[in-house]
Structure 1
Amino acid sequence: MMANLFSSFDPSTSFFLPLNWISTGLGLLFLPYIFWFSASRWLTLWTNLTSILHKEFKTLMGVSNPGGTIFMVALFSIVVFNNFLGLLPYIFTSTSHLVMTLTLALPLWFSFMIYGWVNRTKHMFAHLVPMGTPGPLMPFMVLIETISNVIRPGTLAVRLAANMIAGHLLLTLLGSTGPSLPQSLLYLLLFSQVLLLSLEAAVAVIQSYVFAVLTTLYASEVN
Protein backbone atom coordinates (compact mmCIF):
# COMPACT_ATOMS: atom_id res chain seq x y z
CA MET A 1 0.00 0.00 0.00
CA MET A 2 1.23 3.50 -0.85
CA ALA A 3 2.49 5.62 2.04
CA ASN A 4 1.16 8.68 0.21
CA LEU A 5 -0.08 9.65 -3.23
CA PHE A 6 3.29 10.90 -4.42
CA SER A 7 4.95 7.56 -3.68
CA SER A 8 3.43 6.28 -6.93
CA PHE A 9 6.02 8.41 -8.73
CA ASP A 10 9.00 6.93 -6.87
CA PRO A 11 11.38 4.59 -8.71
CA SER A 12 10.59 1.08 -7.49
CA THR A 13 13.56 -0.93 -8.78
CA SER A 14 17.11 -0.88 -7.45
CA PHE A 15 19.22 -3.34 -9.42
CA PHE A 16 22.54 -1.42 -9.43
CA LEU A 17 20.70 1.52 -11.01
CA PRO A 18 16.99 2.40 -10.86
CA LEU A 19 15.73 0.57 -13.94
CA ASN A 20 12.62 2.75 -14.11
CA TRP A 21 14.61 5.41 -15.94
CA ILE A 22 15.14 3.00 -18.86
CA SER A 23 11.60 3.95 -19.89
CA THR A 24 13.05 7.31 -21.00
CA GLY A 25 14.64 5.62 -24.00
CA LEU A 26 11.78 3.33 -24.98
CA GLY A 27 10.44 5.81 -27.52
CA LEU A 28 13.83 5.99 -29.23
CA LEU A 29 13.72 2.21 -29.70
CA PHE A 30 10.34 2.30 -31.43
CA LEU A 31 10.76 5.32 -33.70
CA PRO A 32 13.67 4.36 -36.01
CA TYR A 33 12.07 1.10 -37.12
CA ILE A 34 9.12 2.80 -38.80
CA PHE A 35 11.44 4.31 -41.40
CA TRP A 36 12.39 0.81 -42.60
CA PHE A 37 8.80 -0.17 -43.28
CA SER A 38 6.71 0.60 -46.32
CA ALA A 39 4.47 3.67 -46.24
CA SER A 40 1.79 3.42 -43.58
CA ARG A 41 -0.71 5.72 -41.95
CA TRP A 42 1.46 5.98 -38.83
CA LEU A 43 4.55 6.91 -40.86
CA THR A 44 2.57 9.42 -42.92
CA LEU A 45 1.09 10.99 -39.78
CA TRP A 46 4.46 11.26 -38.05
CA THR A 47 6.15 12.68 -41.18
CA ASN A 48 3.45 15.32 -41.62
CA LEU A 49 3.61 16.24 -37.93
CA THR A 50 7.37 16.67 -37.90
CA SER A 51 7.24 18.67 -41.15
CA ILE A 52 4.70 21.08 -39.66
CA LEU A 53 6.77 21.44 -36.49
CA HIS A 54 9.95 22.00 -38.51
CA LYS A 55 8.33 24.85 -40.46
CA GLU A 56 6.94 26.45 -37.32
CA PHE A 57 10.19 26.25 -35.39
CA LYS A 58 12.02 27.68 -38.40
CA THR A 59 9.62 30.63 -38.41
CA LEU A 60 10.03 31.19 -34.67
CA MET A 61 13.82 31.18 -34.86
CA GLY A 62 13.72 33.74 -37.64
CA VAL A 63 16.98 32.55 -39.22
CA SER A 64 18.02 29.83 -41.62
CA ASN A 65 19.15 27.25 -39.10
CA PRO A 66 18.05 23.75 -40.14
CA GLY A 67 20.19 22.12 -37.45
CA GLY A 68 18.48 24.09 -34.69
CA THR A 69 14.96 23.35 -35.93
CA ILE A 70 15.73 19.64 -36.31
CA PHE A 71 17.03 19.62 -32.73
CA MET A 72 13.80 21.23 -31.49
CA VAL A 73 11.72 18.63 -33.34
CA ALA A 74 13.83 15.92 -31.69
CA LEU A 75 13.30 17.58 -28.30
CA PHE A 76 9.54 17.59 -28.87
CA SER A 77 9.66 13.93 -29.89
CA ILE A 78 11.53 12.87 -26.74
CA VAL A 79 9.17 14.74 -24.42
CA VAL A 80 5.96 13.60 -26.13
CA PHE A 81 7.10 9.95 -26.15
CA ASN A 82 7.84 10.04 -22.43
CA ASN A 83 4.56 11.81 -21.67
CA PHE A 84 2.54 9.20 -23.56
CA LEU A 85 4.47 6.24 -22.14
CA GLY A 86 3.63 7.49 -18.66
CA LEU A 87 -0.07 7.01 -19.43
CA LEU A 88 0.40 3.27 -19.95
CA PRO A 89 0.07 0.93 -16.95
CA TYR A 90 3.23 0.00 -15.02
CA ILE A 91 5.50 2.37 -16.99
CA PHE A 92 7.54 4.92 -15.08
CA THR A 93 6.77 8.57 -15.99
CA SER A 94 10.19 10.21 -16.20
CA THR A 95 8.84 13.63 -17.26
CA SER A 96 6.94 13.93 -13.96
CA HIS A 97 10.29 14.32 -12.15
CA LEU A 98 12.24 17.55 -11.93
CA VAL A 99 15.44 15.55 -12.38
CA MET A 100 14.37 14.77 -15.94
CA THR A 101 12.82 18.12 -16.86
CA LEU A 102 15.68 20.16 -15.38
CA THR A 103 18.16 17.94 -17.23
CA LEU A 104 16.47 19.01 -20.46
CA ALA A 105 15.83 22.68 -19.66
CA LEU A 106 18.91 23.80 -17.72
CA PRO A 107 21.69 22.81 -20.19
CA LEU A 108 19.74 24.28 -23.12
CA TRP A 109 19.16 27.60 -21.35
CA PHE A 110 22.76 27.70 -20.14
CA SER A 111 24.11 27.10 -23.65
CA PHE A 112 21.91 29.87 -25.03
CA MET A 113 23.19 32.28 -22.38
CA ILE A 114 26.84 31.42 -22.99
CA TYR A 115 26.45 31.83 -26.74
CA GLY A 116 24.57 35.11 -26.40
CA TRP A 117 26.85 36.79 -23.86
CA VAL A 118 30.05 35.68 -25.59
CA ASN A 119 29.12 36.38 -29.20
CA ARG A 120 26.37 39.01 -28.96
CA THR A 121 27.04 40.92 -25.77
CA LYS A 122 25.48 44.22 -26.87
CA HIS A 123 22.37 42.43 -28.06
CA MET A 124 21.99 40.69 -24.70
CA PHE A 125 22.42 43.96 -22.81
CA ALA A 126 19.79 45.59 -25.04
CA HIS A 127 17.29 42.86 -24.06
CA LEU A 128 17.57 43.93 -20.41
CA VAL A 129 15.97 47.33 -21.14
CA PRO A 130 12.81 47.24 -23.31
CA MET A 131 12.33 50.04 -25.80
CA GLY A 132 10.51 53.09 -24.47
CA THR A 133 11.45 52.50 -20.83
CA PRO A 134 11.71 55.80 -18.89
CA GLY A 135 15.15 56.60 -17.50
CA PRO A 136 14.24 56.35 -13.79
CA LEU A 137 12.74 52.90 -14.33
CA MET A 138 15.71 51.44 -16.20
CA PRO A 139 17.51 49.99 -13.10
CA PHE A 140 14.28 48.27 -12.01
CA MET A 141 13.66 46.93 -15.52
CA VAL A 142 17.18 45.50 -15.65
CA LEU A 143 16.57 43.75 -12.32
CA ILE A 144 13.17 42.42 -13.41
CA GLU A 145 14.45 41.21 -16.80
CA THR A 146 17.45 39.55 -15.17
CA ILE A 147 15.27 37.67 -12.67
CA SER A 148 12.81 36.60 -15.38
CA ASN A 149 15.71 35.36 -17.49
CA VAL A 150 17.31 33.39 -14.64
CA ILE A 151 14.10 31.58 -13.65
CA ARG A 152 13.32 30.44 -17.20
CA PRO A 153 14.77 26.92 -16.91
CA GLY A 154 12.97 26.46 -13.60
CA THR A 155 9.61 27.51 -15.03
CA LEU A 156 10.12 25.24 -18.04
CA ALA A 157 10.92 22.26 -15.83
CA VAL A 158 8.22 22.88 -13.21
CA ARG A 159 5.51 23.51 -15.83
CA LEU A 160 6.11 20.16 -17.53
CA ALA A 161 6.56 18.14 -14.32
CA ALA A 162 3.58 19.73 -12.55
CA ASN A 163 1.19 19.08 -15.42
CA MET A 164 2.27 15.45 -15.63
CA ILE A 165 1.94 14.98 -11.86
CA ALA A 166 -1.47 16.67 -11.61
CA GLY A 167 -3.19 14.38 -14.10
CA HIS A 168 -1.61 11.22 -12.70
CA LEU A 169 -2.62 12.17 -9.15
CA LEU A 170 -6.20 12.79 -10.21
CA LEU A 171 -6.32 9.43 -11.99
CA THR A 172 -4.91 7.76 -8.87
CA LEU A 173 -7.41 9.49 -6.58
CA LEU A 174 -10.38 8.50 -8.69
CA GLY A 175 -9.10 4.94 -9.14
CA SER A 176 -8.58 4.47 -5.40
CA THR A 177 -12.25 5.24 -4.73
CA GLY A 178 -13.41 2.32 -6.90
CA PRO A 179 -13.47 -0.43 -4.22
CA SER A 180 -15.57 1.70 -1.87
CA LEU A 181 -18.16 2.80 -4.43
CA PRO A 182 -21.50 1.04 -4.94
CA GLN A 183 -21.96 -0.81 -8.21
CA SER A 184 -24.36 1.83 -9.53
CA LEU A 185 -21.59 4.45 -9.47
CA LEU A 186 -18.83 2.31 -10.99
CA TYR A 187 -20.01 3.06 -14.53
CA LEU A 188 -19.84 6.78 -13.79
CA LEU A 189 -16.33 6.35 -12.37
CA LEU A 190 -15.24 4.37 -15.42
CA PHE A 191 -16.67 7.01 -17.76
CA SER A 192 -14.93 9.82 -15.86
CA GLN A 193 -11.64 7.89 -15.93
CA VAL A 194 -11.87 7.50 -19.71
CA LEU A 195 -12.58 11.22 -20.12
CA LEU A 196 -9.71 12.13 -17.83
CA LEU A 197 -7.36 9.79 -19.66
CA SER A 198 -8.33 11.46 -22.96
CA LEU A 199 -7.62 14.85 -21.38
CA GLU A 200 -4.24 13.60 -20.18
CA ALA A 201 -3.38 12.45 -23.70
CA ALA A 202 -4.14 15.96 -24.96
CA VAL A 203 -2.09 17.50 -22.13
CA ALA A 204 0.84 15.22 -23.01
CA VAL A 205 0.93 16.64 -26.55
CA ILE A 206 0.26 20.25 -25.53
CA GLN A 207 2.94 20.32 -22.83
CA SER A 208 5.50 18.79 -25.20
CA TYR A 209 4.66 21.46 -27.77
CA VAL A 210 4.83 24.26 -25.18
CA PHE A 211 8.19 23.01 -23.89
CA ALA A 212 9.68 22.90 -27.41
CA VAL A 213 8.18 26.25 -28.48
CA LEU A 214 9.39 28.11 -25.38
CA THR A 215 12.86 26.64 -25.81
CA THR A 216 12.81 27.80 -29.44
CA LEU A 217 11.76 31.30 -28.40
CA TYR A 218 14.57 31.47 -25.85
CA ALA A 219 17.02 30.42 -28.56
CA SER A 220 15.66 33.02 -30.99
CA GLU A 221 16.35 35.84 -28.53
CA VAL A 222 20.12 35.37 -28.79
CA ASN A 223 20.12 35.49 -32.61
Structure 2
Amino acid sequence: MQVYHLDLHELPLFQGVPAAEVEQFIAATGAKIKRVSRGARILDAYKENHNIGVIVEGEAQVLAEDRFGNENVSHNLERGAMLGSTSAIMPQVPYDMAIEALTDVLVLWIPYQALLTAGPKLGRTHGLVMKNLLEAFCRKNVLMMQKIKILSQKTLRERLILYLLYKEQRQGKARVHVPGRVQLAKELECNRSALTREISSMQTEGLLHTGEDWMELDAVKIAAMD
Protein backbone atom coordinates (compact mmCIF):
# COMPACT_ATOMS: atom_id res chain seq x y z
CA MET A 1 0.00 0.00 0.00
CA GLN A 2 1.33 3.45 -0.91
CA VAL A 3 2.08 5.62 2.11
CA TYR A 4 2.69 9.10 0.71
CA HIS A 5 -0.92 10.20 1.24
CA LEU A 6 -1.18 8.99 4.85
CA ASP A 7 0.90 11.76 6.48
CA LEU A 8 2.94 9.24 8.45
CA HIS A 9 5.40 11.95 9.49
CA GLU A 10 2.60 13.41 11.66
CA LEU A 11 2.42 10.26 13.80
CA PRO A 12 4.01 10.54 17.28
CA LEU A 13 6.47 7.77 16.40
CA PHE A 14 7.91 9.96 13.63
CA GLN A 15 7.86 13.29 15.47
CA GLY A 16 10.74 15.42 14.20
CA VAL A 17 11.34 13.16 11.18
CA PRO A 18 10.77 14.73 7.72
CA ALA A 19 8.36 12.93 5.39
CA ALA A 20 11.16 11.87 3.02
CA GLU A 21 13.09 10.28 5.89
CA VAL A 22 9.96 8.43 7.03
CA GLU A 23 9.82 6.80 3.59
CA GLN A 24 13.49 5.84 3.95
CA PHE A 25 12.75 4.36 7.37
CA ILE A 26 9.94 2.22 5.96
CA ALA A 27 12.14 0.98 3.14
CA ALA A 28 15.05 0.19 5.48
CA THR A 29 12.97 -1.72 8.04
CA GLY A 30 10.57 -3.44 5.64
CA ALA A 31 7.57 -1.93 7.44
CA LYS A 32 4.16 -2.61 5.89
CA ILE A 33 0.72 -1.03 6.13
CA LYS A 34 -2.21 -3.41 6.40
CA ARG A 35 -5.96 -2.87 6.58
CA VAL A 36 -8.09 -4.56 9.24
CA SER A 37 -11.88 -4.62 8.95
CA ARG A 38 -14.19 -3.42 11.70
CA GLY A 39 -14.78 -6.11 14.33
CA ALA A 40 -11.73 -8.15 13.34
CA ARG A 41 -8.80 -8.88 15.63
CA ILE A 42 -5.67 -6.89 14.94
CA LEU A 43 -3.75 -8.94 17.50
CA ASP A 44 -4.75 -12.04 19.44
CA ALA A 45 -3.85 -12.61 23.07
CA TYR A 46 -1.14 -15.19 23.80
CA LYS A 47 -0.16 -15.36 20.10
CA GLU A 48 3.37 -14.94 18.76
CA ASN A 49 4.07 -11.49 17.35
CA HIS A 50 7.27 -10.01 15.87
CA ASN A 51 6.07 -6.53 14.90
CA ILE A 52 5.40 -3.19 16.55
CA GLY A 53 2.20 -1.68 15.20
CA VAL A 54 1.10 1.94 14.84
CA ILE A 55 -2.50 2.89 14.09
CA VAL A 56 -2.53 5.10 11.00
CA GLU A 57 -6.30 5.39 10.60
CA GLY A 58 -9.30 4.23 12.61
CA GLU A 59 -9.95 3.20 16.18
CA ALA A 60 -9.38 -0.01 18.13
CA GLN A 61 -9.84 -1.30 21.65
CA VAL A 62 -7.58 -3.24 23.98
CA LEU A 63 -9.15 -6.32 25.57
CA ALA A 64 -7.64 -8.04 28.59
CA GLU A 65 -8.24 -11.76 28.10
CA ASP A 66 -7.67 -14.62 30.54
CA ARG A 67 -7.04 -18.28 29.74
CA PHE A 68 -10.76 -19.03 30.18
CA GLY A 69 -11.73 -16.64 27.38
CA ASN A 70 -13.13 -13.92 29.64
CA GLU A 71 -12.54 -10.40 28.32
CA ASN A 72 -12.48 -6.96 29.90
CA VAL A 73 -12.11 -3.70 28.00
CA SER A 74 -8.93 -1.88 28.97
CA HIS A 75 -8.85 1.24 26.79
CA ASN A 76 -9.27 2.54 23.25
CA LEU A 77 -6.57 3.23 20.68
CA GLU A 78 -6.72 6.00 18.09
CA ARG A 79 -4.46 7.30 15.31
CA GLY A 80 -0.84 7.30 16.42
CA ALA A 81 -1.31 4.72 19.17
CA MET A 82 1.13 1.83 19.32
CA LEU A 83 0.32 -1.83 19.78
CA GLY A 84 2.10 -5.16 19.93
CA SER A 85 5.29 -3.71 21.39
CA THR A 86 5.27 -5.86 24.54
CA SER A 87 4.80 -9.17 22.73
CA ALA A 88 7.36 -8.21 20.07
CA ILE A 89 10.05 -7.05 22.50
CA MET A 90 9.45 -9.68 25.22
CA PRO A 91 8.17 -12.82 23.45
CA GLN A 92 9.08 -14.96 26.46
CA VAL A 93 6.32 -13.30 28.54
CA PRO A 94 2.74 -14.47 27.75
CA TYR A 95 0.80 -11.37 26.69
CA ASP A 96 -2.87 -11.46 27.66
CA MET A 97 -4.06 -8.44 25.66
CA ALA A 98 -5.99 -8.65 22.40
CA ILE A 99 -6.61 -5.72 20.03
CA GLU A 100 -9.93 -5.45 18.19
CA ALA A 101 -10.83 -2.97 15.45
CA LEU A 102 -13.78 -0.72 16.34
CA THR A 103 -13.71 0.77 12.82
CA ASP A 104 -11.85 -0.13 9.66
CA VAL A 105 -8.22 0.33 10.69
CA LEU A 106 -4.92 0.89 8.91
CA VAL A 107 -1.90 -0.35 10.86
CA LEU A 108 1.77 0.26 10.13
CA TRP A 109 3.67 -2.89 11.14
CA ILE A 110 7.39 -2.46 11.87
CA PRO A 111 9.48 -5.64 12.28
CA TYR A 112 11.13 -5.31 15.68
CA GLN A 113 14.40 -7.02 14.76
CA ALA A 114 14.73 -4.87 11.64
CA LEU A 115 14.15 -1.78 13.78
CA LEU A 116 17.01 -2.77 16.09
CA THR A 117 19.51 -3.25 13.27
CA ALA A 118 18.52 -0.31 11.04
CA GLY A 119 20.69 2.23 12.88
CA PRO A 120 23.70 2.17 10.51
CA LYS A 121 21.41 2.69 7.50
CA LEU A 122 19.28 5.45 9.00
CA GLY A 123 21.61 7.37 11.31
CA ARG A 124 19.86 10.36 12.92
CA THR A 125 16.43 9.14 11.82
CA HIS A 126 16.87 5.92 13.78
CA GLY A 127 17.79 7.85 16.92
CA LEU A 128 14.69 10.04 16.66
CA VAL A 129 12.40 7.06 16.15
CA MET A 130 13.90 5.22 19.13
CA LYS A 131 13.49 8.36 21.28
CA ASN A 132 9.85 8.63 20.25
CA LEU A 133 9.38 4.92 20.94
CA LEU A 134 10.60 5.34 24.52
CA GLU A 135 8.28 8.31 25.00
CA ALA A 136 5.38 6.18 23.73
CA PHE A 137 6.14 3.55 26.37
CA CYS A 138 6.01 6.26 29.02
CA ARG A 139 2.64 7.46 27.71
CA LYS A 140 1.28 3.92 27.99
CA ASN A 141 2.33 3.86 31.63
CA VAL A 142 0.52 7.16 32.17
CA LEU A 143 -2.65 5.71 30.63
CA MET A 144 -2.44 2.71 32.93
CA MET A 145 -2.09 4.94 35.99
CA GLN A 146 -5.01 7.08 34.84
CA LYS A 147 -7.14 3.96 34.42
CA ILE A 148 -6.32 2.92 37.99
CA LYS A 149 -7.21 6.38 39.31
CA ILE A 150 -10.51 6.42 37.42
CA LEU A 151 -11.60 3.04 38.74
CA SER A 152 -10.56 3.92 42.29
CA GLN A 153 -13.11 6.76 42.50
CA LYS A 154 -15.88 6.17 45.03
CA THR A 155 -18.86 7.08 42.83
CA LEU A 156 -19.79 6.59 39.19
CA ARG A 157 -20.09 10.37 38.79
CA GLU A 158 -16.52 10.85 39.97
CA ARG A 159 -15.34 8.13 37.59
CA LEU A 160 -17.06 9.76 34.62
CA ILE A 161 -15.80 13.25 35.46
CA LEU A 162 -12.20 12.10 35.86
CA TYR A 163 -12.47 10.01 32.67
CA LEU A 164 -13.62 13.08 30.72
CA LEU A 165 -10.98 15.35 32.28
CA TYR A 166 -8.26 12.94 31.14
CA LYS A 167 -9.87 12.88 27.69
CA GLU A 168 -9.68 16.69 27.61
CA GLN A 169 -5.96 16.55 28.34
CA ARG A 170 -5.27 14.02 25.59
CA GLN A 171 -7.52 15.54 22.93
CA GLY A 172 -6.66 19.16 23.78
CA LYS A 173 -10.24 20.42 23.81
CA ALA A 174 -13.28 20.63 26.10
CA ARG A 175 -15.67 18.79 23.76
CA VAL A 176 -14.20 15.30 23.60
CA HIS A 177 -14.93 12.31 21.43
CA VAL A 178 -16.31 9.38 23.44
CA PRO A 179 -17.36 5.82 22.58
CA GLY A 180 -20.97 4.63 22.66
CA ARG A 181 -22.71 3.93 25.96
CA VAL A 182 -22.00 0.18 25.89
CA GLN A 183 -18.30 0.74 25.30
CA LEU A 184 -18.13 3.59 27.81
CA ALA A 185 -19.77 1.43 30.48
CA LYS A 186 -17.15 -1.26 29.85
CA GLU A 187 -14.32 1.25 30.19
CA LEU A 188 -15.75 2.59 33.44
CA GLU A 189 -16.57 -0.96 34.60
CA CYS A 190 -20.16 -0.14 35.48
CA ASN A 191 -23.70 -1.11 34.52
CA ARG A 192 -24.89 0.59 31.32
CA SER A 193 -28.26 1.50 32.84
CA ALA A 194 -26.56 3.08 35.83
CA LEU A 195 -24.29 5.04 33.50
CA THR A 196 -27.26 6.27 31.45
CA ARG A 197 -29.01 7.45 34.63
CA GLU A 198 -25.90 9.25 35.84
CA ILE A 199 -25.40 11.01 32.50
CA SER A 200 -29.05 12.11 32.50
CA SER A 201 -28.72 13.40 36.05
CA MET A 202 -25.57 15.36 35.22
CA GLN A 203 -27.28 16.86 32.17
CA THR A 204 -30.23 17.97 34.30
CA GLU A 205 -27.85 19.62 36.77
CA GLY A 206 -26.01 21.36 33.94
CA LEU A 207 -22.74 19.57 34.65
CA LEU A 208 -22.57 17.77 31.33
CA HIS A 209 -23.49 18.40 27.70
CA THR A 210 -23.63 15.50 25.26
CA GLY A 211 -24.04 14.67 21.58
CA GLU A 212 -24.08 11.51 19.52
CA ASP A 213 -20.36 10.85 19.95
CA TRP A 214 -19.12 13.63 22.22
CA MET A 215 -19.35 14.94 25.78
CA GLU A 216 -18.40 18.25 27.34
CA LEU A 217 -18.16 19.06 31.02
CA ASP A 218 -19.30 22.47 32.25
CA ALA A 219 -15.93 23.75 33.47
CA VAL A 220 -17.40 26.36 35.85
CA LYS A 221 -19.77 23.98 37.59
CA ILE A 222 -17.18 21.20 37.76
CA ALA A 223 -14.68 23.60 39.36
CA ALA A 224 -17.32 24.61 41.91
CA MET A 225 -17.54 20.98 43.05
CA ASP A 226 -13.95 21.00 44.35
TM-score by length of 2: 0.32
Larger Rg: 1
Structure with the higher helix share, 1 or 2: 1
